[in-house]
Structure 1
């Protein structure tokens, strides 16, 4: 699933292959990825426009032009790929932008859970992005404290809530909490100063490395590299990992490394799954 590091990678693709180039043609193979705009309107609005420096906020990619702006969201399976006009189309290429200089950018998405929106004005941009929290890359310790203060929800739910903090998804949320040794089920408001400090450090460190990689890497030293499989183990302590659902999302954590106050009854059962002990 594309998260902040993936979308930052797509921003670089757009900057490297599109910035300063004129859009010569827009081909919509599947209007099912268009949100609030028709294929003819999208073609009319963007053809002949010159792409400016792209921006990103959380999981949203903003393709500005010398006219309207295009907003791209990648859902669970979306990608933005450079191509040449001679390259054969992929079955999941939904929208293709042909640019000056014989270049193409292709929005490819299998599941079509999100898609493309057109923003003619800044008010249109605010309508889409106004409900987003601060971009996760900009969050320091004081801002993180303010985001956590008074929130009863579990800390994992808070971290992946885009209206609180934009850009973190399931993999990043689990990785950051594992690095910080914080139980994902702890109420956010209950974290003490030490836990918040570790969380802020983990947030910066994980995002720095993941942005550099262009994804959430499944490295041997990362939780992400061990969460799959029938009997996953913690890369730090070697103990069994536990799995549960928090905020409707599959959550993986180490009950030994991330033991939290008020959760001592939740220990790892067979295959690392939680049970109540008794």
Structure 2
């Protein structure tokens, strides 16, 4: 599932491939990915517009033009692809944007759980993103303390709640909690000052390295590399990992490094 580092990678694609270029045509192969906009309206709104900026907030990508803005959410299986116009079509290319330099941006998505929205102006973008918490990449230790203050839910549920903190998904939350040595079902209001500091440090390091890679890394020293093994083991202590549903998601943790509450 695309999380903050993946979407930051798509933002770079949009910036590198799209910024300063004109949208010559919009071709909708599957309107099932459009949200509250018809194919005809999307085409009329964007044709001839120049892409001015590529922004990201949490898991949302915002393409700002010299007119309206386009908001893309990638759900479970979406991605943004930049390619030459003569590249063979992919069966999951749902919307294709033809640019004036002969290249294309393609919104590719298998399951179509989220999709594309159109915002007429900056105020409309702000309204669409109003339910999002601050972008996780912008939150420091003091900011995380403020976000956690007074919350009683399990810490994984809080970290993955986009209205609290935008951008963290299942893989990132498990990685951060494993590095901070905090069990994912610990109540947030039960974390002491040292644990909250470890959590903030782990979040900063995991996001920094993930954004650099453009995805949640699967190197051997990462929990992510082992969580789906047949017999997963902790890359830190070598003990067996546990897997269960916590906060509604399949969760991996080390019972030795992350003692249960």
How much does 1:127 deviate?
Answer: 2.3
In structure 2, the residue matched to 1:179 is 179
In structure 1, the residue matched to 2:144 is 144
Once the two structures are superposed, what CA deviation does each residue of 1:141-197 show, in whole Å capped at 9, x if it has no partner? 111011111111000000000000000000000000000001111011110011001
In structure 1, the residue matched to 2:154 is 154
In structure 1, the residue matched to 2:68 is 68
Aligned residues: 261
In structure 2, the residue matched to 1:259 is 259
Question: Residues of 2 paired with 1:211 and 1:78: CA distance?
Answer: 18
Once the two structures are superposed, what CA deviation does each residue of 1:47-81 show, in whole Å capped at 9, x if it has no partner? 00000121000000000000000000000100100
* Structure 1 length-normalised TM: 0.93
Unaligned runs of 5+ in 2: none
In structure 1, the residue matched to 2:212 is 212
In structure 2, the residue matched to 1:59 is 59
In structure 2, the residue matched to 1:116 is 116
**Mean Cα displacement is larger for which, 114-123 or 129-138?**
114-123
Unaligned runs of 5+ in 1: 264-278
In structure 2, the residue matched to 1:196 is 196
In structure 2, the residue matched to 1:29 is 29
Question: Residues of 2 paired with 1:29 and 1:197: CA distance?
Answer: 48
Question: Residues of 1 paired with 2:17 and 2:167: CA distance?
Answer: 23
Which aligned segments of 4 or more residues in structure 1 are displaced greater than 3 angstroms?
A: none
How much does 1:230 deviate?
Answer: 2.1
Question: Residues of 2 paired with 1:188 and 1:128: CA distance?
Answer: 28
In structure 1, the residue matched to 2:223 is 223
Secondary structure of 1:70's aligned partner: strand
Question: Residues of 1 paired with 2:103 and 2:259: CA distance?
Answer: 52
Secondary structure of 2:114's aligned partner: coil
In structure 2, the residue matched to 1:88 is 88
Question: Residues of 1 paired with 2:26 and 2:230: CA distance?
Answer: 45
Secondary structure of 1:53's aligned partner: strand
Q: Which has the larger radius of gyration?
A: 1
In structure 1, the residue matched to 2:8 is 8
Question: Residues of 2 paired with 1:213 and 1:47: CA distance?
Answer: 33
In structure 2, the residue matched to 1:276 is none
In structure 1, the residue matched to 2:167 is 167
Question: Residues of 1 paired with 2:229 and 2:257: CA distance?
Answer: 20
Please provide the CA RMSD for this pair: 0.7
How much does 1:219 deviate?
Answer: 0.9
* Structure 2 length-normalised TM: 0.99
How much does 1:135 deviate?
Answer: 0.2
Question: Residues of 1 paired with 2:234 and 2:128: CA distance?
Answer: 39
Question: Residues of 1 paired with 2:52 and 2:23: CA distance?
Answer: 11
Question: Residues of 2 paired with 1:4 and 1:232: CA distance?
Answer: 25
Secondary structure of 2:53's aligned partner: coil
